[in-house]
Structure formats: C-alpha cells, structure tokens
Structure 1
C-alpha cells in the first residue's frame, strides 16, 4: 500500500470522526477505533465513497488496560504500519472526586491518560525509525485556563489535570522527536458540538452558551490537521478561545479564578432560567 495510515481513537463520532474525515481528505487510510463497531462501519463506508481511502475497523474499549496492545497488533496483523496517531478517545467522570468510587476514577485515568501514553509508547518508536510520524493528542482549553467547578460537575475533578498532562507530554515528545520528522501536537478545543455533552449531562448548559463559544467538530479537525502537518506543538482552535488563553496568561491566578466563578454563576442562572421556561411551556 502506498498510502499512509492514521490510527484514530474515539472515531465513532464528534471530533474523532471529524479528524478521520480530515486525514482521509488528505489521502490517508484509516484505522478507526471505538466501542461502537456499527458506527465505525458506517464511517468507513463514507470515507471510501467520498475519498477512496481504505479503513480498518477495530472495535475495542480503551478503558481496558490491554486495549492499546490489541489495537496495535490488529493493525500489524492487517499488514499495515501506523504513520499517524490521533489520541481522542475519552469521556468525562462527572461528580466530586471525594464522592465517587475509585473504580470509576481509575477507569477514567486508564481511558484519558494511560491509554494515550501506552499507544504513543507502542507507536512512536516505529515512527522514529522510519523518520516520519504525525501524532495528535486531543487535550482541552480547560488545561490552559483557571480551574472551575463546572469541570468537576460535568467532566470530573481530574479532567483539567489529565488534559494538562497531554499538553506537557506533547511538548516534551515534540522536542524528543524534532530531529526525526515526527510532529506532535496537543489540540486544545473549547466547547464543541458533539455527543460528549450529552453523555456527561452538560447539554442544557452548553445549549445556552453564546454561539461564539461553540466550535464545530469540523473546525477543530481542520485546525488539528493543519497544526500537526506544520509542526505546531499546541493549537487552540477558535478566536474566542485564543483570546481567553491569552488573557489567562497575563492575569494573576486569583483574578482568573474569580472571573471563572463569575462566569459559572452566569451560566447557572441562564440554565435555571431556561429550565423554568421549558417547564412553564
């Protein structure tokens, strides 16, 4: 096969599916990974029809410790090598850290941190040896902003920290591999229209945000592909989020946290008002 292959986790919907389409649009074959095999099959058919690329379908659960090795082996058994990696699989763990079971927190860390590191550790050496590789770790703009209670409410206390680790990993790995033509990017989107907000219960709140707060998965994917192609280590999609990150860099931490609390109160008030209107109707 002459086409390069990109492994995309969390490819069944949202940002993962959009990144798969973006890579396909640039001539890459795909290895599509998620739990929902039917969704992966539909996406593979779409990519073949629209872009003429081939896709491997790998149904697996990255919250299981053995999943990364099974996934990489499945690609090798198909006679392919992995030239690109998009670490995107994920879900929030809503609720207070002190009020949730450790088994749930452990599963969250396996899915959101350990699986990412394990896949990179399995795949990056081959990229280095072949002197070509493209790695995107999907982080979050929340890792670049002051902590907020909304993170705990909808995504979990550990969410910003987990996403922060991915930024530092990407920065360090990019330095380690900069002479080997292996580009590593931390993609840091803000609120994005996807199923993620339905799963973690944030749909009502997100729906009440101003339109300029919301990104499309396609916008995020375009920004991510452009960044990793050009060797940009950290990419924040969207002008609004670029502005927020720039402001956060210059504000003292206590001021930033105070502003986040004010915004949370406004969002809570808006959500309450919307819920009241809906009930009245």
Structure 2
C-alpha cells in the first residue's frame, strides 16, 4: 500500500500526544481508527515505529528518525498550503462608492474566513466586467437582471437630491420627488439609479443630460446642467464645493445587490456571497 498524508500526521500526533487516546482527540478520529492507521503505516514501511506496553508508548529508534524527517515534510507542506491560500483572490467590482460599513465588514469577514484576499476593482460598467471575467462579483445599485446572472438583494438605501450650489434648490432643506421631476436631469446611463422613467409620469419635454460614470455625473451637477438623485452614501462621503445634497421627502429607496455570473461560482465566491448576505442581515437589523 502507499503511504498517505493521514498516516504521517497520525504518527506525529501520537508521538507528540504520548497516548493514542489524546492523539485521537487531537485528530478528531476514534482511537481504533488511529490504531489501524499506525498499523497500516508500519506495514507499509516494514518496520515497527512505536513501542507499546500497558503503561507506556514511545517511538522506536526507526520511528523517531522517521518522524523527524516527516515533521520537515509536513512543515513544508503546511507552508505551501498557507502560501497558496494567501495568494488566492476574489475580485469585487463596483462603479462608485461602496455602501458603508457593510462593504468593509463583508471584506473583513470574507478574508478571515477564507484566508484569501478580496481585491476591489472600480469599473464604469460592472455588467460588462462580469461577463468578460474581469471581476468575479459586483456590488450594484438599482434594478439588475439577466438570464445568466445571480442577483442577491442585500438592502435598500435612502436617496437624496444632488443639486448645484448655484441652484435655488441648494437653499432648501427638503424637496419632493415630484418637484425634483420638474428640473433638467443628469443621468448616468451605465450605472445610475435615476432616469426620466423613475417618475410615474415622466415629462417627455424634460431636458436630459447623459454621461457614463459617476465622476462625470457629479461634475455635470456641479456645473448646474441638471439635478440628480443618489443614495444617501454620497452625502456622507462626497465633498464637492459646488454640489449640495438635499433630502427628498418621498423618494423610493435604491436597491443594493451582489451580482455574479451564475455559471462561474467558485468556493471562494461562495464564501464572499455568504459573508455579504450575513453582513447585510446585520446591517438591516441595525438600521431599522
């Protein structure tokens, strides 16, 4: 028979523990199973490795020499496994500000549980990045759908209005959704969560200014080309001299989801998904 890794670990455990009972507990197996494993190893090597009496257990001279060399092999193997784990990565994409503190709690939980590294990747078009394999999963806002996609709703974020500091609206403490709908609108066509269709009765004559990423969107609002509506995270984390964020009394919240290609699920991606959902449940409970 071939010598297997379980045989080597069993021998070292017995020598270190001093008894079969303690070694079996350490290895989480039964004592008879451990005894058979040691017997298999001795049979494979053709030599006795342990001296057993009713009162004591000790390695033979051959067993001691063999175990010392085995320790080196196991040490190198464990180091190689640890190195492989540390080099594993899962790529998480996003188009603009990640929700906090959920995002960083999720990343921390995933890295602790998996021993891998979560790499953050900002991309203007997360859906294309997913389909092209540039990222493994994405945090996306708004309605997301696709036959090949797995979409897990995490939570919803309140929305606020974004207006130019030069606009009369910047002096207001609160707006209504209908009132915001009477002004020109700046729309991020790739990842924005607010479009003309976000109003129940969109004005066909309303001026719409389009762009394809958050930075352009922000600068267009600052230049007073139109207004916008974004998740409240923008007010906490975006500081632009020419942009003001104003509460909206009756705005529908924005859905936040974890999205990935359903046919490309890996064990590491499952860990990320499970951590994301667990932290989302905790986040929802804390913000009720």
* TM-score for both structures, normalised by structure 2: 0.28
Structure with the bigger RCO (C-alpha within 8 Å, sep 6+) is 2
Q: Which protein is richer in helix relative to its size? A: 1
Bigger Rg, structure 1 or 2: 2
Q: Which protein is richer in strand relative to its size? A: 2
* TM-score for both structures, normalised by structure 1: 0.28
